[in-house]
Structure 1
Amino acid sequence: MNEKLEAARQLIEASGWLAPLLYLLLHLVRPFLFIPVLLTCLAGGYIFGTIYGSIYSIIGLTLTSVSFYVLIHYFPSFGRQLSQLKRKVIKSNHGMSTPQLMVIRLMPFVHFHFVSLYLLETTKNFREYTIRSIWFGIPPAIIYTAFGDIIHALPLTGTIVLMSLLIVCIMILPKKEEVITWREFFRPSSS
C-alpha cells in the first residue's frame, strides 16, 4: 500500500503545474461529491507538503466560498432555504464571534458552508465576504494540511485531544453582547 501511495505522490510531483490546478478543481467539485474539507486538505498536505499545500488549500477554500456566494446570488430561493435550515438547527438568536466561527470552521463534522452562510448573512458586499472568507479559510487550510503532511505520525488519541480542545474553545469564546430595547433604556428610574 505504501508503495502505491509513494508512486502516486511521485506521479503528482512529476506533473508540474497540472497537479496544483487539479487540486484547486478538486476543491471546487468537493461539495458536490460530498468530500469533507478535512480530507481534501489532508491530501494537499500529503501531496504538496505543509507550505504549498496550505497555499493551495487557502486558494481552493476561497474559490469554494466564492462559488457558494455566486450560487446563492443566482438562486436566492436556495439561500432562503439554507437560512431557514440554519435557524431550525441553531435556535438561539445570538451572533457568533470571529474566533468562534474560526474554531467552528476547524471542526470536521460541521459543514464548511455553515460558516460561509453566516458570513454571507453578516457581510455587506462581495468584497467583504471574500476577504473574510480568506481569513476564515486560513486556520483549517494550515492545520489540516500540516496534519496531512505528518499524517502517518498522528495517533487516534491526538485527534481526540484536538477535537476536545476545539470544543472547549467554542465554549469559552462566546460573543459578549447585550441587547437593550429603546423602552428599557429610557425607562424612568425608580429612585
Structure 2
Amino acid sequence: MKKWSGLLLIAAVVAGLIVLNQTVLDLSPERIRNWILSFGLLAPILYVMLYTFRPFILFPASVLSLAGGLAFGPLYGTLLTMTGATAGAILAFMFAKKAGAKRVEAKLGKRGEKLQHQLEHNGFFIVLLLRLVPLFNFDLISYAAGASKIRLLPFALATLIGIIPGTFAYTFLGFSTGSDSAETIVLAVTIFAVIFIIPMLFRKKIKSYLQGRAQENESP
C-alpha cells in the first residue's frame, strides 16, 4: 500500500509540473530569456543555478539551452550552459550516490541496469560516448553513473567534454531565433542538423558495441 501511495504521489507531482508548465507558466525560451535578463548582472549566475537544479524540476534542458543562446549569445551562452549542465549532472550523480545504489537501480529499470553495468567497466569512455550520441536520457546517464562504481572526476570530465558540440548547437540555434540575418539562421540550423544527425547515423553501431562490451564484461 505504501509503495502504491508513493508511486501515485510521484505521478501527481510530475503531472502537476507538466500541466503547470504548459497551461500556466508557458515557459518559452523567449519568456525565460526576458525573465533571466531582468536580473541584470545576476542573470548569468541565475541561469547557471537554474541549469544546475534542472534535473530535479523536470524541465527540458533543450528549452533552457535555447533560452541561454537568446540571452547570452552563442559563445558566452555555451560556456554558461556547459557550466550549469555539468554542475547539474554532478548533482544528480552525487544524489544517486547518497540515495544508495540499490534504491536507484530499482528506479532506473532494465535499461538503467545495463547502462550502470557498462559504466562500471568503461566509465569515462562510455559517459563520453553517450554524451556525444544521445542514446539515453541525459539525466538517466547521470543517475546510472552515480549508482555505479565510476568515480566523480572521470564522470564530470567526460560529461564536460561530451556536451560541447550539442551545447553549442542548441545555444547557437537559440541565438539565431532572435536574429534578423537569414545567413545566421541557416548556419545555425545547418550546424544543429550536422551535430545531431550525423551521430545518429552511428546509433545502431554504438548500441551493438555497447552490448558487445556488456557481454564481454559479464563472461567469466
| Shorter-chain TM-score tier | 0.5 to 0.7
Task: Name which of 188, 191, 202 aligns with 1:169.
Answer: 202
Tell me, in whole angstroms, the C-alpha distance in 2 between the residues paired with 1:51 and 1:63.
18
The TM-score, its normalising length taken from structure 1, stands at 0.67
Tell me, in whole angstroms, the C-alpha distance in 1 between the residues paired with 2:174 and 2:133.
19
Alignment partner, residue 52 of structure 2: 28
Alignment partner, residue 61 of structure 1: 85
From the superposition, tell whether residues 66 and 14 of structure 1 become closer, same or farther in structure 2 (CA, over 3 Å).
closer
Alignment partner, residue 185 of structure 1: none
Alignment partner, residue 186 of structure 1: none
Alignment partner, residue 73 of structure 1: 97
Unaligned runs of 5+ in 1: 183-191
Q: Runs of at least 4 residues of structure 1 off by over 6 A?
A: 93-97, 157-162
Higher RCO (C-alpha 8 Å, min separation 6): 1
Tell me, in whole angstroms, the C-alpha distance in 1 between the residues paired with 2:104 and 2:144.
11
Alignment partner, residue 173 of structure 2: 147
From the superposition, tell whether residues 168 and 9 of structure 1 become closer, same or farther in structure 2 (CA, over 3 Å).
same
Alignment partner, residue 21 of structure 2: none
Alignment partner, residue 179 of structure 1: 216
Equivalences, count: 170
Q: Which amino acid aligns with 2:133?
A: I
Tell me, in whole angstroms, the C-alpha distance in 2 between the residues paired with 1:32 and 1:59.
17
SS in 2 for 1:73: helix
Q: Structure 1 residue 103: deviation in Å?
A: 3.6
Tell me, in whole angstroms, the C-alpha distance in 2 between the residues paired with 1:20 and 1:70.
24
Q: Structure 1 residue 85: deviation in Å?
A: 4.5
Q: Structure 1 residue 48: deviation in Å?
A: 0.2
Cα pair 1:42 1:144 within 8 Å, conserved: yes
From the superposition, tell whether residues 84 and 14 of structure 1 become closer, same or farther in structure 2 (CA, over 3 Å).
closer
Larger Rg: 1
Tell me, in whole angstroms, the C-alpha distance in 2 between the residues paired with 1:139 and 1:163.
9
From the superposition, tell whether residues 87 and 66 of structure 1 become closer, same or farther in structure 2 (CA, over 3 Å).
closer
From the superposition, tell whether residues 56 and 139 of structure 1 become closer, same or farther in structure 2 (CA, over 3 Å).
same
The TM-score, its normalising length taken from structure 2, stands at 0.60
Task: Name which of 126, 140, 149 aligns with 2:152.
Answer: 126
Unaligned runs of 5+ in 2: 1-29, 179-184
Task: Name which of 138, 141, 144 aligns with 2:164.
Answer: 138
| RMSD, matched Cα | 3.8
From the superposition, tell whether residues 11 and 56 of structure 1 become closer, same or farther in structure 2 (CA, over 3 Å).
closer
Fraction of identical pairs, as percent: 17
Higher helix fraction (1 or 2): 2
Q: Structure 1 residue 146: deviation in Å?
A: 1.4
